[in-house]
Amino acid sequence: MSRLWNFSAGPAALPQAVLERAQRELLDWQGCGASVMELSHRGKLFMSLAQQAEADLRELLAIPDDYAVLFLQGGATQHFAQIPMNLAGEGDSADYIVTGHWGEKAASEAAPYVQVNIAGSSKAQHYRGLPPRESWQLDPRAAYVHYTPNETIHGVEFHDIPQVGEVPLVADMSSDILSAPIDVSRFGLIYAGAQKNIGPSGLVVLIIRRDLLQRAGRPMARIFRYAEHAANDSMLNTPNTWGWYLAGLTFQWLKEQGGLAAMRERNRAKAELLYRTIDGSDGYYRNPVEPAARSRMNVPFTLHDSALDADFLKESEAAGLLALKGHKAVGGMRASIYNAVPLEAVQALAGFMGDFAKRHG
Ligand SMILES: *Cc1c(COP(=O)(O)O)cnc(C)c1O
């Protein structure tokens, strides 16, 4: 059995070159006679891996020195709660811009720790676009503004960074980090679960402006406090060493690909091809999202007759196209086309879609 084209939303495809290297190094990493998973995180070898991974990520994203980079656990979901614990004090409020499933979750998980103000939402439009900026009710006294630049399930993406004044902007970049260059200095905090565009699940990359580490937040165990993790180089306790290692290999792979500007062009070409295929199908396939807010990473689409869904899934899998079933919240299909999914995969999918439409009229 060989590798198929994988459109999984997450855990998602990893670059083949990264997997091959991990396979080569699995039993004997750097000539030390053990795998990277079997070594102390405090040993010289692993410490140097950890530092290199951080340095490579800083280079890729041009992260300014006044930001700390943390390699944490708990998934993005744990940080939905941990962010308000760290950034908001007793009685504070925070603004949430909600443009899909994950923003909604982030707001509800924050509610025990901060007064959540839904400052903007496209829920009434079934998350098929972004709420117009004029409709946002931002509070200049808010502890922070939270948003989800790319909504993985609804396939809705911001194509610029919202202006929120002096209030720190917090972004859940789980499904779009490293897909294009970004200006990190516009953010107070960026976080991302690794399993879409970075590495395996179980690792969270968090980038935080250092002055925000000084916020008192609320009483909590040290393990929840970002300042403690920063002071201990993300080794307050045993980190996810395997995830950190694979993330490091992915960062090196991204540098070899030409960095994030090159990835942006590739991702644009992939998304354009897929949306062109959908829009050019005379309504056989449909994407529900307003064109200006369409995601470059997650492309949901429906067939003109949902009775064909089961055939589409069966035949696509037989054609070597994996994991196209859409999320139940949206229905139909979804193709996730993260960094590690090559243009050839999208070409194969577009070809199959044309073919399927012809055969099933
Ligand atoms: C996948 C995803 C999450 C959830 O991540 P977990 O690691 O399962 O907690 C949160 N936000 C976004 C945008 C995602 O794509």
45 CA distance to ligand 1 centroid (A)?
31
Give the residues surrounding ligand 1 with Cβ less than 6 Å away.
10, 75-77, 102, 148, 152, 172, 174-175, 193, 196
pLDDT, residue 1, reads: 58
Q: Are residues 210 and 306 in the same domain?
A: no
From CA 46, how far away is CA 50, in angstroms rounded? 6
Percent of the chain's residues with pLDDT above 70: 100
358 CA distance to ligand 1 centroid (A)?
36
Q: Are residues 213 and 228 in the same domain?
A: yes
Q: For residue 90, is pLDDT > 90?
A: yes
- Write out the DSSP string of 75-93: HHHHHHHHHHHHH--TT-E
Is 28 considered catalytic here?
Answer: no
Residue 7 lies in a domain: no
Q: Are residues 301 and 246 in the same domain?
A: no
Q: Are residues 268 and 247 in the same domain?
A: no
Q: What average pLDDT score do residues 247-268 get?
A: 98
- Structure-block tokens of residue 95: 């603004």
Q: Are residues 285 and 238 in the same domain?
A: no
- 227: domain CATH number? 3.40.640.10
111-132: b (≥16 Cβ within 10 Å) or e: eebbebbebbbbeeeebbbbbe
The alpha carbon torsion through 349, 353, 354, 356 (nearest 10 deg) reads 130
Residue 136 lies in a domain: yes
Helix (H, G, I), strand (E, B) or coil at 292: helix
pLDDT, residue 361, reads: 81
Q: 5, 29, 102, 244: which one is catalytic? A: 102
Tell me which of 221, 241, 256 is where a domain ends. Answer: 256
Name the residue with the closest Cα to ligand 1, atom 8. 75
Residue 2 lies in a domain: no
Is 196 considered catalytic here?
Answer: yes
Name the residue with the closest Cα to ligand 1, atom 5. 76
Q: Are residues 237 and 275 in the same domain?
A: no
Q: pLDDT tens across 145-171, in order?
A: 999 999 999 999 999 999 999 999 999
Tell me which of 202, 229, 256 is where a domain ends. Answer: 256
Q: 56, 92, 95, 172: which one is catalytic? A: 172
pLDDT, residue 244, reads: 98
Q: Supply the range of the domain harboring residue 171.
A: 17-256
Residue 10 lies in a domain: no
Tell me 37's DSSP state.
G
From CA 127, how far away is CA 37, in angstroms rounded? 41
Task: Domain count for the chain, please give it.
Answer: 2
Q: Which is the closest atom of ligand 1 to the Cα of 172?
A: 13
Q: Are residues 188 and 200 in the same domain?
A: yes
Residue 114 lies in a domain: yes
Q: Are residues 208 and 121 in the same domain?
A: yes
Q: pLDDT tens across 110-146, in order?
A: 999 999 999 999 999 999 999 999 999 999 999 999 9
Name the residue with the closest Cα to ligand 1, atom 13. 174
From CA 24, how far away is CA 310, in angstroms rounded? 39
Q: Are residues 154 and 289 in the same domain?
A: no
Q: Are residues 143 and 103 in the same domain?
A: yes
Contact 23, 219 (CB under 8 A): no
| Residue type at 205 in one-letter notation | V
- For residue 11, say if its preceding peptide bond is cis, omega within 30 degrees of 0: yes
Radius of gyration of the chain, Cα coordinates, nearest whole angstrom: 21
Q: For residue 251, is pLDDT > 80?
A: yes
- Other Cβ atoms less than 10 A from the Cβ of 253: the count is 18
Residue 3 lies in a domain: no
pLDDT band with cut points at 50, 70 and 90 for residue 292: very high
Is 136 considered catalytic here?
Answer: no
From CA 198, how far away is CA 200, in angstroms rounded? 7
pLDDT, residue 2, reads: 83
Q: Is the pTM of this model over 0.95?
A: yes
Residue 311 lies in a domain: yes
CB under 8 A, 24+ apart: contacts of 282-289:
284/357, 285/353, 285/357, 287/155, 288/126, 288/128, 288/155, 288/330, 289/128, 289/129, 289/154, 289/155, 289/156
Q: For residue 240, is pLDDT > 90?
A: yes
305 CA distance to ligand 1 centroid (A)?
30
Q: Are residues 164 and 264 in the same domain?
A: no
Q: Are residues 97 and 178 in the same domain?
A: yes
